[in-house]
């Protein structure tokens, strides 16, 4: 089977591990959010692409969910000594190697999609990892403190400032990266990972051509809810959804995916929501164990999605 996974960071990466271990999956294409991407010290930082790449390569720092396991922070310490700006964003020494590679190649004129492919291949990843677009489409978070770039809001300000609105800057002028529309058209199943819909999935849907490609796909589109008993496994989803006036819990997630998905998967623990959500957006809602704690639970969830 050919599977397309729309993915943000940690939730997307773990879902990708499960799908790539599923024996029936012949080809896995991960379409990765690039709304979190930013420049630091002249280096292009792509958190979701790197989390997916490092996780599939078995190299990720599992406690953090991002960066390389066992990495050190010597370069960052030097930057601090030198009085460099924006050192709240931690880049590990070995991780910086990938960032130099990517930034150098970008300056040489290579598109992000081909750089991402080269890096994944070199690190032994067999799944195809495609940035949603080769353009820069930074997510801007409007708060009482002003308009913040996503990493400023999320890392520097620890997702504390209440969010008035989100802007997927430049998305309207971007186009899907090479291979994205083709993968969607040829897929046997399209999975939306248990990622933050507002920060990881909507930025991709804001790119012209994405919604059309998904609507035209012959494959079913199944979204896995990132919520477990009303809270995200990782990240600021519940507070963000409330700030943006979505109903709490899985009903809010369902509204974010209304008109896009053919089915939704929620956790067994939230089975009481099943009928209400199904009625609200008019698609079947299935229950499964959605917490991806290890390779076995990832594969089990993947098998449920495919069956």
Q: Which long-range contacts (CB under 8 A, 24 or more apart) does 210-215 make?
A: 210/132, 210/176, 210/180, 211/260, 213/176, 213/180, 213/181, 213/184, 213/185, 214/184, 214/190, 214/260
**Piece in contact with Ca ion (CB under 5 A), picked from 28-36, 102-110, 249-257, 259-267:** 28-36
Tokens of 263: 């089915």
Output the smallest distance, CB 238 to Ca ion, in A. 16
Residue 40 contact partner, candidates ligand FO1, Ca ion, none, CB within 5 to 8 A by sort of partner:
none
Q: Does 45 bind ligand FO1 (CB under 6 A)?
A: yes
75 binds ligand FO1 (CB under 6 A): no
Residues 303, 203: Cα–Cα separation, whole Å = 27
Of the chain, the end-to-end C-alpha distance in Å amounts to 12
Q: Considering beta carbons, is residue 67 or 176 the nearer one to ligand FO1?
A: 67
89 binds, among ligand FO1, Ca ion, none (CB under 5 to 8 A by kind): ligand FO1
Among 5, 9, 34, 226, binds Ca ion (CB under 5 A): 9
CA-based angle 8:266:10, to the nearest 5?
20
Part of the chain binding ligand FO1 (CB under 6 A), chosen from 45-53, 114-122, 141-149, 217-225: 45-53
Cα distances (angstroms) measured from residue 182 to each of 27, 124, 289, 302: 13, 23, 31, 22
Nearer to Ca ion, 8 or 67 (CB): 8
C-alpha distances out from residue 64 to 9, 55, 134, 153, 295, Å: 11, 11, 27, 18, 17
When computed from its CA atoms, the radius of gyration of the chain, rounded to whole angstroms, is 18
Instruction: Report if residue 154 touches ligand FO1, rule: CB under 6 A.
Output: yes
**89 counts as binding ligand FO1 under rule CB under 6 A:** yes
36 binds ligand FO1 per the rule CB under 6 A? yes
Closest approach of Ca ion to the CB of residue 127, in Å: 18
43-45/38-40 β-pairing: antiparallel
In the shown chain, the binding pattern of residues 134 to 153 toward ligand FO1, with x for contact by CB under 6 A and - for none, equals -----------------x--
Cβ atoms of 200 and 15 closer than 8 Å: no
Q: Which is nearer to ligand FO1, 243 or 273 (CB)?
A: 243
Residue 166's φ and ψ, nearest 5 degrees, are -115, 140
Taking the least distance from each CB to Ca ion, the nearer of 238 and 287 is: 238
Which of Ca ion, ligand FO1, none is residue 240 near (CB under 5 to 8 Å by kind)? none
- Residue 38 binds Ca ion (CB under 5 A): no
Which residues are at the interface with ligand FO1 (CB under 6 A)?
A: 8-9, 36, 45, 47, 50, 66-67, 89-91, 151, 154-155
């Amino acid at each position: 089977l050919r599977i397309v996974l729309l993915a943000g960071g940690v939730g997307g990466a773990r879902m990708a591990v499960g799908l790539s271990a599923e024996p029936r999956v012949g080809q896995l294409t991960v379409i990765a959010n690039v709304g979190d991407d930013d420049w630091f010290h002249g280096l292009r930082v792509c958190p979701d692409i790197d989390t997916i790449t490092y996780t599939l390569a078995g190299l990720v720092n599992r406690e953090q969910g991002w960066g390389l396991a066992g990495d050190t922070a010597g370069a960052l310490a030097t930057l601090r000594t030198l009085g460099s700006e924006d050192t709240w964003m931690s880049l590990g020494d070995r991780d910086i190697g990938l960032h130099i590679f990517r930034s150098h190649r970008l300056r040489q004129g290579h598109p992000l999609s081909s750089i991402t492919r080269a890096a994944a291949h070199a690190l032994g990843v067999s799944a195809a990892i495609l940035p949603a677009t080769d353009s820069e489409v930074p997510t801007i978070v409007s708060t009482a403190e002003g308009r913040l770039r996503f990493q400023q809001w999320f890392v520097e300000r620890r997702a504390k400032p209440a969010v008035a609105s989100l802007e997927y800057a430049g998305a309207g002028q971007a186009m899907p990266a090479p291979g994205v529309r083709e993968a969607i058209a040829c897929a046997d199943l399209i999975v939306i990972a248990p990622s933050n819909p507002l920060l990881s999935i909507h930025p991709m849907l804001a790119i012209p051509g994405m919604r059309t490609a998904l609507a035209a796909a012959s494959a079913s589109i199944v979204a896995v809810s990132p919520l477990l008993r009303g809270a995200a496994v990782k990240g600021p989803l519940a507070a963000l959804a409330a700030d943006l006036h979505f109903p709490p819990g899985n009903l809010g997630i369902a509204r974010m995916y209304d008109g896009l998905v053919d089915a939704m998967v929620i956790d067994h623990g939230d089975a009481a929501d099943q009928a209400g959500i199904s009625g609200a957006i008019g698609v079947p809602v299935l229950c499964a164990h959605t917490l991806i704690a290890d390779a076995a639970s990832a594969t089990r969830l993947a098998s449920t999605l495919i069956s």
